[in-house]
Amino acid sequence: DGGITQSPKYLFRKEGQNVTLSCEQNLNHDAMYWYRQDPGQGLRLIYYSQIVNDFQKGDIAEGYSVSREKKESFPLTVTSAQKNPTAFYLCASSIGSHKQETQYFGPGTRLLVL
């Protein structure tokens, strides 16, 4: 079955700690995205990547970092510089060859601060 997996489902972060959220897809999609979802604010784009070894900042990239070493994987690191990391994080992917194309989402990771 093709799809997008995210792990872990829940993640707890201590003060000053960096944590990494995993996102893997086996859809053979070129483009991958990270969104953050907060109650009452909808989804906001953190980072996106159109091809391997290349990625761009989205609307709220401060305090986050990503890598794209493999087509299938797009991990997101929430650094200690992110002062309000508690949120639901969603990874998505799309074919990457058209301007208007559907993005498919993973099941999400909920990050909580201890």
Partner 1 sequence: SQELEQSPQSLIVQEGKNLTINCTSSKTLYGLYWYKQKYGEGLIFLMMLQKGGEEKSHEKITAKLDEKKQQSSLHITASQPSHAGIYLCGAGLSLIQGAQKLVFGQGTRLTINP
- Judged by the rule CB under 8 A, the positions of this chain that interact with partner 1 are 4, 6, 31, 33, 35, 40, 42-43, 45, 48, 50, 56, 58-59, 88, 90, 92, 94, 96, 98-108, 110
Secondary structure letter of residue 70 according to DSSP: B
Minimum Å distance from CB 77 to partner 1? Answer: 20
Minimum Å distance from CB 80 to partner 1? Answer: 26
Minimum Å distance from CB 60 to partner 1? Answer: 11
List the beta strands (DSSP E) in the chain. 4-7, 10-13, 19-25, 31-38, 42-51, 54-57, 64-66, 76-78, 87-94, 104-105, 109-113
